[in-house]
Structure 1
């Protein structure tokens, strides 16, 4: 699942690598048919669904990490806090020196809140998941829906920020590294500042809890025993997820646009989780899943690698293609680069036990050097 999530995240991030995506109206920015439909494809199938999928895996991973730590006689809380602090450092470096769209800082900070739930019973986790995902989103979505009906003109003025579009185009395409670093901070603050962090929390944290719930119930360890539950989950999340995703494409209503990401994203993520779980039962699908598995074992390294490549392609200190690439071309680039990542993963894992960043993360967590090379490899 991690490899699949890394691909989906790359599709979404690519829009912001090559364009001032934060500040523009995508439907008016990409007017050509290939670019427009490439954006619509990403909006429906990827936007807000893969960060939430990775959030599920983060919560799932915490429970697995706890079980292994306890089995080996380690203090889980102490180790996990060191793990989160290390992730936070990676995130700060990534956000302010490579690319503003970092999610690692958010995962690390929310991870400390997740620690409060590591002893929670499965039922408690499910209740919190449902409450945090549904109640605030429906209330906020409802209020925005009514506000948009009452004041449609005022809302439409918030769709684009022409000043920031021009600034981003200038800085990222021709500015110095210092100029770009300043702009990164502005963009990061725009995404994570003020009330935005609350909306991010309401989107991601319930998926943390759902992942922890699933790990405690051992559903992914015994998919065959829960096949009916996964089939039901896939059916319901498909209907709900894609309804929330598609309906806003035919409306400018702020409430529907909010729910597209707030509920559409997580429900589509749940659909993907259920479908991948069911796919694991069929050996004929194994060759399709292997490339994603290879990338998934190096997921943190590949996530950061994508940002390095993306900024080198589009920023002024690289090829300077910022603002000159459409959504369709960007989508093709994702497929090409990800294919390269699959090849690199296969070559790397023949010699090494972990990805380079995963290796550093493991050392920072346990406080001792871990052998990187596989046994028998010179």
Structure 2
């Protein structure tokens, strides 16, 4: 049976890109290391708190979940065509790594594509596993990662400040100047040559970068499990389940992140934020799915679907647009717009992407980067998978 595109998943992908853009605007405006060390007006401080609780860290997991979901759907499609599944994924992941390296090197330090490409190879271990096995591994890793956060919280419960885990003041000062006034070449050299973590112990840096992928692993596996059990393929039949999950996960995630962000800084706040973020992400997924059952054919949902279908192109375009607005070689608004205005700008950019994506898809079936990815993944100029060659039976010698 031919695989049908799950339009709800496209809509969720669009939703995640919107949230990722709003979260990334803190980085575009203040730098990846400067966004957590800001002096803001009361209005911007309120907007900043809103972003930290409701947005930052809770939309990237949605994209992570959908990445795992899409891997299963693509694997099923390849198996139906009797093709070599892992071979196609290896090419796909290598492309993501290459694009991510180019993106991070020449445009912006906040790239996520390299991480997804690398982690994809880990997910290949679960492509042929039983559905129950994927769920068990996802739950075990979720418990394991939260246990690490909980143990870390216990050891760091007396810590009152996170200054020792931040970039140096000299780095932040130089970054603010370079990004606000520098040329493309100056910003390129700074991004690729300066080390913001030079003052941190090497062991600590190693632990941070080792644990970060592990913390994201459960969402990948939950997405794979959801695809295996056909979740989201019949939204109207599953509406009650979406609503129940929304009522549980949304308040719990918001409560945990809210307490973590508003309470005095210590080890326990890191645990609450780290554990609450994926729960809130799952709450957003459930809420969006339930909303989809009510207004699936609305302009609103079609707009999110259109952005989601062009997710790779739209993600890179967000970088191009925002770096042009904030960096010195563009409008030079780095650090000047403010958090609240940044939310407004992000909303405007996303609306423009919704309009453009909707119009674009009326004439072209897929985005430019999506098409290049398909060409490379499928090794065909039209982007279609090649049919597996059938071997003609050889007649026995006696027939000659």
TM-score by length of 2: 0.85
Deviation of 1:286 (Å): 3.0
Distance 1:370 1:83, change over 3 A: same
What is the SS of the residue equivalent to 1:337?
Answer: helix
Candidates 22, 25, 31, aligned match of 1:14: 25
- Give me the whole-angstrom Cα distance separating, in 2, the residues matched to 1:302 and 1:277: 22
Q: Does 1:144 align with 2:156?
A: no
Distance 1:338 1:285, change over 3 A: same
CA contact (8 A) 2:261 2:273 kept: no
> Which residue matches 2:212?
200
Q: Does 1:255 align with 2:267?
A: yes
> Which residue matches 2:90?
81
Aligned length: 368
Candidates 236, 246, 253, aligned match of 1:234: 246
Q: Does 1:173 align with 2:180?
A: yes
Q: Does 1:114 align with 2:114?
A: no
Candidates 175, 186, 191, aligned match of 1:184: 191
Deviation of 1:140 (Å): 2.5
- Give me the whole-angstrom Cα distance separating, in 1, the residues matched to 2:195 and 2:316: 16
> Which residue matches 1:4?
15
Q: Does 1:213 align with 2:225?
A: yes
What is the SS of the residue equivalent to 1:134?
Answer: helix
CA contact (8 A) 2:16 2:59 kept: yes
> Which residue matches 1:97?
106
Candidates 246, 268, 276, aligned match of 2:288: 276
Candidates 272, 287, 293, aligned match of 2:299: 287
Per mean C-alpha deviation after superposition, the further-off stretch among 78-87 and 239-248 is 239-248
Deviation of 1:226 (Å): 3.6
Candidates 330, 337, 358, aligned match of 2:349: 337
What is the SS of the residue equivalent to 1:22?
Answer: coil
Deviation of 1:234 (Å): 1.8
Matches within 5 A, 1:277-356: 277-283=289-295, 286-356=298-368
Deviations 1:317-351 (A, max 9, x none): 11111122211111111111111111111221111
> Which residue matches 2:371?
359
Deviation of 1:249 (Å): 2.5
> Which residue matches 2:66?
57
Q: Which runs of 5+ in 1 are unaligned?
A: 373-378
Deviations 1:186-213 (A, max 9, x none): 6798599622323321332111100000
> Which residue matches 1:375?
none
Distance 1:302 1:284, change over 3 A: closer
CA contact (8 A) 1:5 1:51 kept: yes
Deviation of 1:158 (Å): 4.1
CA contact (8 A) 2:304 2:354 kept: yes
Query: Which structure shows the bigger proportion of residues in helix conformation?
Result: 1
- Give me the whole-angstrom Cα distance separating, in 2, the residues matched to 1:83 and 1:180: 30
Deviation of 1:256 (Å): 3.2
CA contact (8 A) 1:100 1:188 kept: no
Deviation of 1:33 (Å): 2.2
What is the SS of the residue equivalent to 1:148?
Answer: coil
What is the SS of the residue equivalent to 1:321?
Answer: coil
Q: Which runs of 5+ in 2 are unaligned?
A: 1-11, 199-203, 385-400
- Give me the whole-angstrom Cα distance separating, in 2, the residues matched to 1:49 and 1:21: 17
Candidates 5, 9, 25, aligned match of 2:36: 25
CA contact (8 A) 1:133 1:263 kept: no
Matches within 5 A, 1:60-71: 60-71=69-80
CA contact (8 A) 2:171 2:196 kept: no
